[in-house]
Structure 1
Amino acid sequence: MSTNFKTLLRRLARYRLFTALNVLGLAIGIAACWVIYTLVSYEFSFEKDLPQRDRTYRLVTGFIFDEKESYNGGVSAPMYQGIREQVRGIDRVVPVFGKWMNTAKVERAGAEPLIVEEPKFTVEVDTNYFAMVPYKWLAGDVQSAFNTPSNVVLTESRARSYFGSIDPQQYIGKTIIYNDTLPKRVAGIVKDIEWSTEFKAQEFYPMQSKVYELGAWTNTNGSDKVYLQLSPDADTAKVLAHITAVATKKWNEFEQEKKPTWSMKRWFELLPIKESHFSTYIKEYDTRKASKTVLYGLMALGGFLLILACINYINLSTALVPQRSKEIGVRKVLGSGRLALIRQVFSETMVTVVLAIILAFLLTKLAFLLLKDIIPEGTVEYSNPWGLVLFLAPLLLLVTILSGWYPAWLIAKVQPVSIMRGQAMSSTGNSRQVLRKVLIIFQFVIAQVFIIGALIMGSQLSYTMKKDMGFDKEAVLLVDVPWKILRNEKFETKHFTLAEELKKEAGISAVSLGTKPMSSGYSSSMYEYRGEDAGKEPIKRQVFRKSVDTSYISLYKMQLLAGRNLHASDTTREFVINETAVNAFGFQSPQDALGKFIGQENQKYPIVGVVKDFHMLDFHTTIDPVALMANKDNLNSINIKLNTTDPAKWQETIKRIEKKWAALYPPGTFAYKFYDQELEAMYKEERNFSMLINLATVIAIVISCLGLFGLAIITSFQRTKEIGIRKVLGASVSGIVRILSSDFIRLVLIALVIASPIAWWAMNKWLSDFAYRVQISWWMFAVTGLLAVIIALVTVGFHAVKAAVANPVKSLRNE
């Protein structure tokens, strides 16, 4: 180890408090950047290894219902055939249709058969799929595997889950029985895709050509996806126009033949495959999307935290200059030039940054462990060694330059005589002090923006759970009857029996069968109301439907504004609608709506009651027209109202419910959840983002306090003689502390003035996604300012008190 390097380490060890604070501050900032870099690079890695990615598109469908735009990730099933036959400029049309299976059964020698309930990621494809997605075939080949509909192709991981770990060739020929009666022969094994992709399928069934009915061209199923690989010289606009023409032609044929009374506003879009992962406006089952806006926000967040860490290093390094005055003066007197001193500072900075990166590596591992529940699955496992090198190397250089330039310039600037007199800092002029204060203000601007953001996000999430939703969700237990049980003739009516039995149980105040009021899923239909004027066009509105029984309204304590509750019925015979539906169909009042008939052609029913509006979807969405109706076939959810709000008594009641269930249904099928927990789960994404903002707020505050700590040391050193004179003239300790602290409070308040409009703008943008939102109030900014002042006082208080109680004789001594 060279002498210079040993000397450098010795200097860092001598000022170990400052070194530790510098390393910690930089490590926190670098770790935050590291975590964000890993997360962002993972999200942007989707489909990067897909061949011909720039020419690959998904065909998606757009709709307009009630003047509201929505998108579906699927298309009408026959579309792929029409595109293949009639549209030019496309090299490959790839249908990927979800194929739902009830069970998959595998016989095992000397053991019970393996039965997998509802295997996930099962699709119907043809050979074009494997031409588009580059799977490696471990056994079998695409042609032989898809020459008969009785075959199935498995990924290596799925094959192991069914048959155990054996040689891939030994899987070939084995049989899987689907839905108890459908045998399929394993004809191929492919290696699992190792890169980030939306192609998650694990079982592939050969797609068979079929002739679709004309009505199939008007239906859209989100699980029926079509991918297109365009020719190199294809014009996407022309291709899309031809696809639209194919669909329009079929719709015209449907209109002429079926003469529907409804119309459809539908269009298609070519979604580039590289943008598919970010298409958050398309709601798709079992598919996680990422928001580019959020990712760019996280990148900005990481950049701000890194800049805060660099500013913190600058402030702490300049704070150390007075204590190093003799060392710097001696080096200058002995002939050290400006370049030598600058090299020394940059060398110290680089070593500090390297130590910080090592500590940041450990902090990153800890962060991923603590954040595993809120970061996307696959992020931690994502590996990109060269990308990490390209991230860390420039980061090392960037942080070294950003953190070292000012301390290096400052040390090189001052004169030896001033340094030896202990006037190192004063010799640099007031402009340098202003720069340090500007940096502190910048730090606290960022910190206070985060604090305000955290307060507003927390208020909004609390609002979503505490606002009156139009129904009572407290102490409501939900028990869904699995559809498999409902379809079994042996059990198809048992839930009615169970509901009646539960009504007799102690601890239960009410039981109702029906679709829960607020959920992420829904069913809707276009209903119309034709008034007394037969020649007038009917009013048509999209209405959300909920099947309920006669106990539903009372269990959820919904307010009946007019009319009565539904009468018991096995089928729909009447409606209870909400206030929004009253307005949507043009009725003058809830009473005016009573007795009017709404519905579809030849299926119109009277309105017998009107309930007060309640939230049916999350707070991002406005309240829409809703119709409650009786429909025995759709009553598969049991809503149980417990008669106490004391959680200690709930478990005893739940055990009795489970016992009742076990008397009617197969073992192991009972599952329950509290309604308020389900509602909280609907805001998982917002809650996770709020947690990240809270974490960033803590980091920003910690780093800002470290910077303030450095500035307090500088100020105490610069004003040593002033403090001594004030004490000699009779100033009290509290008075001196107040004088020293007032400067820092002023900086914090200036930061609040700058941060407030920035935070107001940013949080208004975030809140704009909510149809129902909190109002940004003055108290949020006042609380932030008060909190920042308290943090500043705590941070600088130690040095202020230390300076105030120092012996004035030592303060005034001139060496």
Structure 2
Amino acid sequence: MLKNYFKIAWRNLMRHKVFSFINIFGLTVGLTSFLLIALYIFDELTFDSFHSQAANIYRVVNKKVSAEGKEAKVASVAYQISETGKTTFPEIKKIARYTGAGRTNVGTLENTNVFYEDLSFASNEFLEIFDFDLIAGDRKTALTAPYSVVLTEESAMKYFNTANVIGKAIKVDRDSIPYTITAILKDIPVNSHISFNLLFSESSINGQRFRDFVRTDWSSDSFVTYFLLDEKAETNNLEAKLNQLIKSKRSPEEKDKYTYSLQPIKDIHFYSNDFEGASGGNLTYIYVFAILAVFVLVIACINYMNLTTARFANRAREIGVRKTAGATRENLIKQFIAEAFLVTLMALLIALLFVQALLPYFNNFTHKELTLNFNTDYRIWIGVVIVVIVASLMSGIYPALFQSRIRPILLLKNKINVGKSNLSIRRILVVFQFSLSIFMIIATTIVYLQMKYVDTKDMGFKKDQLVIVDINSGKVRRGAETIKREFAKLSQVKEVSVSSRVPGEWKNLVKVRVKNETITSLEGRDMYFLGIDDQFLKTYDIELLKGRNFANAGNGDSTAVIINETAAKQLGITQVSDQVIEIPSIDFGGSVERLDKSFNVRVVGIVKDFNFQSLHQSVSPMVLGFRNNPFQNIDYFSSRVNSDNIAETLKQMNNILHSIDADHLFEYHFLDKQWELFYQQDQIQQTIFLIVAILTILIACLGLFGLATYAAEQRIKEVGIRKVLGASISSIIIILTKDFVKLVLIAAVVAFPLAWWAMHNWLQNFAYHIELKWWVFALAGITALTIALLTISYQTIRAALMNPVKSLKSE
């Protein structure tokens, strides 16, 4: 019987090729979109879940509240918290520490391949807690011995052109002793919050100064720390005991309050965005994408329902004969469900081919490594099966129930009275489709306008044609003035400056505490700090409002600072007269270090506010110190260049740097490209909204076409009578069209307030954003109405032009 159901279903598909194509195409689009978005969401939701012990791994985090009530969350803690905690609390089975020590040149012993790498150190149990896939080596001993290093497969290929490198060595500029390669890992998955190319053993940091520091370290924020807990451990109880232990070891005179907690590793990706210097996933985006994926699939299923019932009149006699011959309602329901399943299965097979073809582009777009093959997580394939079953039932259940309950005599006479309730359901579905379409048109337009605003807003400086060159060695840093002069001599270079950081900085921006007679708080006010030279303002085209720039000669301005407008307001400075301000401490990414003696500086200038961070953040107070300052060394050359023959200019700059340090690696980027990374997630969201908007409109139009077909068939005799009585073609088109216009207008009424609410909330993610304009909503409504009219125009005009004699004879 089941075979017969599918044979008849296939015969019906072949007999009505146009409707079959529309159904399969709509479901294919819906399933393709659903699968791609589902893969993305699954990857996000399974962040860090690939570790076998992920359920019991926790990161130790610290919430600090300063004496002034300022709160900061830090994802790194002191050394002794893990070292003593492991021996004190039996719930802690293993501990792992992970810390960075800047960047340096790393190369083979023969210097055949040298690269600039992050220095990342980990304790000996790191690879036992985090079981990244191991290609070679022993994870229990790989990080035990001093001067051991673990490489990823990609790094091994980069340095040695082979992954068979166990026992070989690499050298690091900072150490005279080479590091022996003890293990090779598969490349770190993209959905891991921990990422490295090389991982050095913590025991390699064996200087006396470090040993003295960690022996009594209960207060620093230097080590990212993880606990592997016993399965029966009560985290709340352990947190309380941990805080009590730390409190007993730290000085009672400390004014800052602190609370340590344990963060599950699976929560790190979505629940760490409020940590100092952290960035992660956005759970709101996941909810939005999930809703969009479901909606696209649902409206594709709705189209199947509409198109199936629209051509019901063509199958009335077939169903009537079946019922007369003894087919039960259950038989007919199974038949229609079998048809829906066959259509859905065909759509799925085509969708899987589309997904395979689109995944490379989708991965490049989302910066993921998604796959859909036999090695893909079994949960995804279970999900695919469930989706096919649900989609088949959604698509086929309503037509099956509706068509199977009609009495045979009515079916054979083709006298089917489609009640208002059935028509209402279909209209509600069309309203739903177009509401979503209008919503997506508005969302896409708002996101586009906001991103255009981001691109064109005056940032307070010019970021175009700026080449940023990293300072990667002490030789280059000491020869910075010579390099600046040589850069400036190049014909394509207009201005050159050096600074500790640059606007759009991707590293941590240093903060300092600032006090004067206006700011009376005990610790001072947090302000960002930037070390610059006398050419910085000119190079970046930053406007000096009051006072003077730094002087180039000597170190006379080493105690001078320039502040921005926001800092001037907070300090109560309106006119520049060498006012003295006090800097008692410095904050490196949440780790506050008090200076032995407050650094007193003179305010010599005020500059116009400029956005040194993305437009997601408002302009904060900033202190611009001279390049010779006690806080930060210079780290970058900034050069404004002509765009002509940029490759030759970069080559000449590289030669100049190598003349100072032959081993220096020439690292550079264009500042405007760096700024684009700030809005990468927003750009992804904009593109996804645009694609989903197009898909929802396309699928909604298919549904509207089905309803127009249905309406034309139902009113064919009415049209014939009107034409016989003298109605014009234009009046008939209006009669057939006005109902659909009403549906689109109702959809607009539903979509407008929802879109306003959603996009108003989205814009709050930006400190600087556009205002919601009425014309965006009007444009979306007009666009949807125009698309709807174009969609139904073929059926309405065809019905209006039909010969009334043929229409009336069909009785």
Regarding TM over 0.5, the answer is: yes
Give the Å deviation of 1:329.
3.4
How far, CA to CA, are the matches of 1:669 and 1:205 in structure 2? Answer: 21
Give the Å deviation of 1:705.
0.6
Aligned to 1:129: 126
How far, CA to CA, are the matches of 2:149 and 2:217 in structure 1? Answer: 26
Task: For 2:726, give the aligned amino acid.
Answer: G
Asked if residue 478 in structure 1 is aligned to residue 478 in structure 2, the reply is no
Aligned to 1:258: none
How far, CA to CA, are the matches of 2:577 and 2:755 in structure 1? Answer: 46
**C-alpha offsets along residues 712-767 of structure 1, whole Å, 9 cap, x if unaligned?**
00111111122222223333323322222221111011011111122222222322
Give the Å deviation of 1:483.
1.5
How far, CA to CA, are the matches of 2:518 and 2:689 in structure 1? Answer: 57
Give the Å deviation of 1:599.
2.8
**C-alpha offsets along residues 527-563 of structure 1, whole Å, 9 cap, x if unaligned?**
3333299xx6567111111222223324433333332
Q: What is the correspondence of 1:697-736 to structure 2 with a 5 Å cutoff?
A: 697-736=693-732
Q: Is the 8 A contact 1:598 1:607 kept in 2?
A: no
Q: 1:271 aligns with which of 234, 241, 263?
A: 263
How far, CA to CA, are the matches of 1:235 and 1:4 in structure 2? Answer: 57
How far, CA to CA, are the matches of 1:537 and 1:196 in structure 2? Answer: 43
How far, CA to CA, are the matches of 2:275 and 2:397 in structure 1? Answer: 49
Q: Is the 8 A contact 1:55 1:232 kept in 2?
A: yes
Give the Å deviation of 1:653.
5.9
How far, CA to CA, are the matches of 1:537 and 1:202 in structure 2? Answer: 44
**C-alpha offsets along residues 130-171 of structure 1, whole Å, 9 cap, x if unaligned?**
4323467766546665664144445566555545557x6xx5
**C-alpha offsets along residues 474-533 of structure 1, whole Å, 9 cap, x if unaligned?**
x4322313313x54578544332234324xx3x655443334334344433333333299
Give the Å deviation of 1:196.
5.6
What residue ranges of structure 1 are gaps of 5+ in the alignment?
256-262, 643-648
What residue ranges of structure 2 are gaps of 5+ in the alignment?
585-596
Q: Could you say what secondary structure the match of 1:483 adopts? A: coil
**CA gap 1:77/1:330 in 2 versus in 1, 3 angstroms:** same
How far, CA to CA, are the matches of 1:670 and 1:234 in structure 2? Answer: 50
Aligned to 2:15: 14
Task: For 1:559, give the aligned amino acid.
Answer: E
Task: For 1:177, give the aligned amino acid.
Answer: K
How far, CA to CA, are the matches of 2:86 and 2:58 in structure 1? Answer: 15
Aligned to 1:645: none
Aligned to 2:604: 608
How far, CA to CA, are the matches of 1:161 and 1:240 in structure 2? Answer: 43
**CA gap 1:140/1:778 in 2 versus in 1, 3 angstroms:** closer
How far, CA to CA, are the matches of 2:191 and 2:329 in structure 1? Answer: 51
TM-score, normalised relative to structure 1: 0.87
**CA gap 1:376/1:192 in 2 versus in 1, 3 angstroms:** closer
Q: What is the correspondence of 1:313-332 to structure 2 with a 5 Å cutoff?
A: 313-332=304-323
Give the Å deviation of 1:249.
4.3
**CA gap 1:494/1:714 in 2 versus in 1, 3 angstroms:** same
Aligned to 2:28: 27
Aligned to 1:92: 94
Q: 1:281 aligns with which of 270, 273, 284?
A: 273
Give the Å deviation of 1:437.
0.3
Q: 1:442 aligns with which of 419, 432, 443?
A: 432
How far, CA to CA, are the matches of 1:195 and 1:563 in structure 2? Answer: 49
Q: Is the 8 A contact 2:51 2:132 kept in 1?
A: no
Q: Could you say what secondary structure the match of 2:643 adopts? A: helix
Asked if residue 768 in structure 1 is aligned to residue 764 in structure 2, the reply is yes
Aligned to 2:116: 118
How far, CA to CA, are the matches of 1:19 and 1:564 in structure 2? Answer: 76
Aligned to 1:80: 82
Give the Å deviation of 1:363.
2.0
Higher mean alpha-carbon deviation, 149-158 vs 355-364, is at: 149-158
Asked if residue 597 in structure 1 is aligned to residue 581 in structure 2, the reply is yes
Give the Å deviation of 1:459.
1.8
Aligned to 2:587: none
Give the Å deviation of 1:93.
2.3
> Percent identical across equivalent pairs?
28
**CA gap 1:266/1:687 in 2 versus in 1, 3 angstroms:** farther
TM-score, normalised relative to structure 2: 0.88
Give the Å deviation of 1:281.
1.1
How many residues align structurally?
780
Q: Could you say what secondary structure the match of 1:603 adopts? A: strand
Aligned to 1:402: 394
Give the Å deviation of 1:175.
3.1
Give the Å deviation of 1:36.
2.0
Q: What is the correspondence of 1:547-696 to structure 2 with a 5 Å cutoff?
A: 547-568=531-552, 570=555, 572-585=558-571, 587=572, 590-591=574-575, 595-600=579-584, 601-632=597-628, 634-641=633-640, 650-652=643-645, 655-656=648-649, 658-659=651-652, 661-665=654-658, 672-696=668-692
Aligned to 2:40: 39
How far, CA to CA, are the matches of 2:488 and 2:426 in structure 1? Answer: 74
Q: Could you say what secondary structure the match of 1:450 adopts? A: helix
How far, CA to CA, are the matches of 1:566 and 1:807 in structure 2? Answer: 88
Higher mean alpha-carbon deviation, 783-792 vs 591-600, is at: 591-600
Aligned to 1:516: 502
**CA gap 1:334/1:683 in 2 versus in 1, 3 angstroms:** same
Q: Is the 8 A contact 1:578 1:627 kept in 2?
A: yes
Give the Å deviation of 1:16.
0.7
**C-alpha offsets along residues 616-651 of structure 1, whole Å, 9 cap, x if unaligned?**
211221211111222157444333345xxxxxx722
Give the Å deviation of 1:782.
0.9
**C-alpha offsets along residues 419-446 of structure 1, whole Å, 9 cap, x if unaligned?**
344443xx12111111110010011111
Aligned to 1:463: 453
**CA gap 1:728/1:79 in 2 versus in 1, 3 angstroms:** same
Task: For 2:24, give the aligned amino acid.
Answer: V
Aligned to 1:260: none
Q: Is the 8 A contact 2:303 2:703 kept in 1?
A: yes
Higher mean alpha-carbon deviation, 331-340 vs 772-781, is at: 331-340
How far, CA to CA, are the matches of 1:205 and 1:758 in structure 2? Answer: 52
Aligned to 1:56: 57
